[in-house]
Amino acid sequence: MYNEEIKRVLPPEEMVTDSKQESGSQKNGGKTGFDATDLDPYVLKDPETMAMNFARALENLGQAASAWLAPRERGEISETAIDPMADMVKTLSKVSEYWISDPRRTFEAQTQLMSSFFGIWMRSMQRMQSMSGLQGEPPPPEPDTRKDKRFSDEDWDKNPFFDFLRQVYFVTTDWVEKLVSETDGLDEHTKHKAGFYVKQITAALSPSNFIPTNPQLYRETIASNGENLVRGMKMLAEDIAAGHGELRLRQTDMTKFAVGRDMALTPGKVIAQNDICQIIQYEASTETVLKRPLLICPPWINKFYILDLNPQKSFIKWCVDQGQTVFVISWVNPDARHAEKDWAAYAREGIDFALEIIEKATGEKEVNAVGYCVGGTLLAATLALHAKEKNKRIKTATLFTTQVDFTHAGDLKVFVDEEQLAALEEHMKSAGYLDGSKMSMAFNMLRASELIWPYFVNSYLKGQEPLPFDLLFWNADSTRMAAANHAFYLRNCYLRNTLTQNEMILDGKPVSLKDVKIPIYNLATREDHIAPAKSVFLGSRFFGGKVEFVVTGSGHIAGVVNPPDKKKYQFWTGGPAKGEYETWLEQATETPGSWWPHWQAWIETHDGRRVAARKPGGDALNAIEEAPGSYVMERV
């Protein structure tokens, strides 16, 4: 899920070995010039070896095609249930209809584009003439000098051909996006979808994604005589085979990590389990602990150990070290047996089950609770259900990047309308669940230029093995979604927004967040594209009690998993979430570093009483197995 910020750890272009040596450098019109020797890295020197490697690459590509076709020929993969391509074509055809319906409007749009192309062509020709000495005056500066990591290689500026391609790409991209934004007569959802699909197309068609139009790829292919393609196509075949007919895009070296060996290392015990979750209690590291235990409800879309990646950045370990008795729900990786487990089941057999186990293990009826992302949405709905039932066990709730109102839910709303949901539900009906790769791809598409195509280029065109990185390993360790649970979530949250409209029915009871009177610590991340800060801000006003709204720097993962000793980012506090989000943020107080100590102080303000440290399970429950347990080990 939380891939939107992995762009922060993309390998920088300057780390990639490049055989090209700079020569003939000079300044010309603000550009670095080049002479004939600059073309040497682009000249094929060993055509025989290149031909042999191309043949080997094609052979590996054939193996990739076979890996893709085989499960479809066996009927294991159906292409008819969910067809995003059809929805894209249908959506963009509505944009085309608007512009084609008026010849004058079409002509003006085409004229604008061609005029831009002509301007780029003229500047490029003037520049080439100036470099060749045929013209003394330097060309006028380009109108678009935006920075983009995809075009960081110096030849995107230095070489007139690649500079031309880059400018044409930017102009065309801007033009197409403007067509969508200026299309009248579309409903808001259709226009949102059209804009999203256009971004997917332009990201895919970037000249940086193709060997002939990417200077670095071209040079590396020439330098290695195509050996990079041999390696890349071999990796492509392996990744399609690993995805059982679907491309499982490699973003890290999955062989370098293991859950329980390299991550999820905080000592603890699994003290209870049922059909949909295990309950982990972590061992105390202090002599005394807070009287109120802490229950963490993570999302089931990804696995809980994002909060326990390693001891240096583990939120769970940090809480334990502050004297918290920490319990975590580890959700099952569902299969067909869990098809009918809906939100009520996750609330009752997940959160309520955990509360019962906490009381047995500690004797405490009162707890503090944390919910992360969709786990927080479930927690909020469960709190509303508890309020209806006069259940007062949860005394404070902390929500990490959690949406309860989905008015401003961002680009994920693109995938949710009645037609798409009906197709998705039909697809899930046959299997009983949604495969985790489908959700992973949806999250990747939110930032395709950073989260899909750089990895595609590095792995399959450069033939480079990705570096090991724990966050990317966790991200690839995806989970399935039980059919009833996922359908309830999409329909009630993204499609109908029932929770803040007092229309959600949970376990047969209508629930309202206004009934939730307990203190809420509501954390948003400033650069979040999954749960936008503006959306979290708006959701704060629907609770019936006091809400401490806090914004932290960075995105959906790095903003949350930000240990104090790293001294990274900052957070903002500014009182109730009233008015407009932008105004609130402008007037808020900025504090450097992690928000974790601020939250710990908030927890202790509501109950700072301490008792002797507890052992997992207490005297009532025996340990089933060591943390992180067996449920989290189930791989898709």
The pLDDT tens digits for 550-593 are 999 999 999 999 999 999 999 999 989 999 999 999 999 999 99
Whether the Cβ atoms of residue 531 and residue 407 lie closer than 8 Å to each other:
no
Residue 123 or residue 305, greater confidence = 305
How many CA atoms does the CB half-sphere of 229 hold within 13 Å? 24
Strand bridging mode 433-434 / 481-482? antiparallel
Ramachandran bin of 220, using left for φ above 0, alpha for ψ from -120 to 50, beta for the remaining angles: alpha
Q: 537-550 as b/e, with b when 16 or more CB fall inside 10 Å?
A: bbbbebbebebbbb
Q: Is the same domain home to 544 and 429?
A: yes
For the chain, what's the residue count? Answer: 636
Q: Are residues 101 and 236 in the same domain?
A: yes
The residue among 204, 226, 242 that closes a domain is: 242
**Domain closes at, from 183, 207, 242:** 242
For residue 375, give the H/E element and its range. Answer: helix 374-388
Task: Specify the amino acid at residue 215.
Answer: P
**Same domain as 175, residue 106:** yes
Q: Which helix (H) or strand (E) holds 320?
A: helix 315-321
Strand 520-525 vs strand 509-510: parallel, antiparallel, or unpaired?
unpaired
Q: Which two tokens stand for residue 593?
A: 């570093």
What pLDDT score was predicted for residue 461? 96
Let me know whether 220 and 356 are in one domain.
no
pLDDT digits (tens, 9 = 90+) for 324-377: 999 999 999 999 999 999 999 999 999 999 999 999 999 999 999 999 999 999
pLDDT reported for residue 8: 45
Q: What angle do CA 590, 594, 596 make, to 5 degrees?
A: 115
Q: Following CA atoms 113, 116, 121, 124 in sequence, which dihedral angle do they give, to the nearest 10 degrees?
A: -140
pLDDT at position 140 is: 54
Residues 549 and 419 grouped into a single domain: yes
If phi > 0 it is left, if psi is from -120 to 50 it is alpha, else beta; for residue 507 that is: left
The DSSP bridge pattern shows strands 610-612 and 394-400 to be unpaired
Omega before residue 628 within 30° of 0, cis: yes
Question: How many angstroms separate the Cα of 512 from the Cα of each of 346, 388, 464, 502, 593?
Answer: 18, 8, 52, 5, 35
| pLDDT > 70 in the chain, percent | 91
Q: Assess whether 556 and 493 both reside in one domain.
A: yes
Q: List Cβ neighbours of 8 (8 Å cut-off, separation of 6 or more).
A: 554, 555, 558
Q: Cα–Cα distance between 363 and 477 in angstroms, integer?
A: 35
Domains identified in the chain, total number: 2
Q: Are residues 274 and 199 in the same domain?
A: no
**Of 242, 258, 280, which closes a domain?**
242
Token reading at 25: 């450098």
Query: Which residues contact residue 97 at a Cβ distance below 8 angstroms, ignoring those fewer than 6 apart?
Result: none
In the predicted model, is pLDDT for residue 403 greater than 60?
yes
Whether residue 3 is contained in a domain is answered as no
Judge whether 319 counts as a catalytic residue.
no
Residue with tokens 């996922």: 486
By the 8 A CB rule, do 7 and 209 touch?
no
Instruction: Report pLDDT for 54.
Output: 95
pLDDT of residue 35: 58
In this prediction, residue 421 has a pLDDT band, given cuts at 50, 70 and 90, of very high
Q: What Cα–Cα distance (Å) separates residue 466 from each residue in 254, 367, 450?
A: 9, 42, 15
User: Would you say residue 46 lies in a domain?
Assistant: no
Q: Examine the domain organization and report whether 498 and 548 are in the same domain.
A: yes
Asked, for residue 357, whether it belongs to a domain, the answer is: yes
| 9 is a domain residue | no
- What is the mean pLDDT of the segment spanning 44-65? 95
461 and 559 co-located in one domain: yes
Does residue 6 form part of some domain?
A: no
Q: What is the pLDDT of residue 75?
A: 82
Q: What is the reported pLDDT for 2?
A: 45
Q: Give the model's pLDDT for residue 394.
A: 98
The confidence score (pLDDT) of residue 27 equals 42
Q: How far apart are CA 440 and CA 434, in angstroms?
A: 11
Burial 289-319 (b: 16+ CB within 10 A, else e): bbebbbbbbbbbbbbbbbbbbeeebbbbbbb
Q: 10 Å Cβ neighbour count for 65?
A: 13
If asked whether residues 234 and 303 sit together in one domain, one would say no
Check residue 10 and give its pLDDT: 44
Range of the domain at 555: 268-633
233 with 276, same domain? no
Question: Is the pLDDT confidence value at 264 over 50?
Answer: yes
How far apart are alpha carbons 107 and 132 in whole angstroms?
A: 37
Rounded Cα distance between 574 and 567, Å, is 21
CA 555 to chain centre: 9
Beta-strand pair 394-400/520-525: parallel
- What DSSP string describes 20-56? ----S--EETTEE---GGGGGGGS-S-HHHHHHHHHH
pLDDT exceeds 90 at position 83: no
257 occurs within a structural domain: no
Write the DSSP string, 251-282: -S-GGG--BTTTB--S-EEEEEE-SSEEEEEE
pLDDT score at 26: 41
258 in any annotated domain: no
Residue pair 90/419 in contact by the 8 Å Cβ criterion:
no
The catalytically annotated residue of 277, 297, 373, 493 is 373
Tell me, yes or no, whether 482 lies in a domain: yes
**Cβ-based neighbour number of residue 527 at 10 Å:** 17
Instruction: Compute the radius of gyration of the chain from its Cα atoms.
Output: 27
Q: What is the CATH number of the domain that holds 536?
A: 3.40.50.1820
Q: Residue 473: is it exposed, middle or buried by C-beta count within 10 angstroms (0-12/13-18/19+)?
A: buried
Same domain? For 448 and 502 the reply is yes
The pLDDT of 440-448, averaged and rounded, is 84
Pairing of strands 367-372, 294-297: parallel
Highest mean pLDDT (candidates 117-126, 130-139, 203-212, 428-437): 203-212
Q: How confident is the model at residue 20 (pLDDT cuts 50, 70, 90)?
A: very low
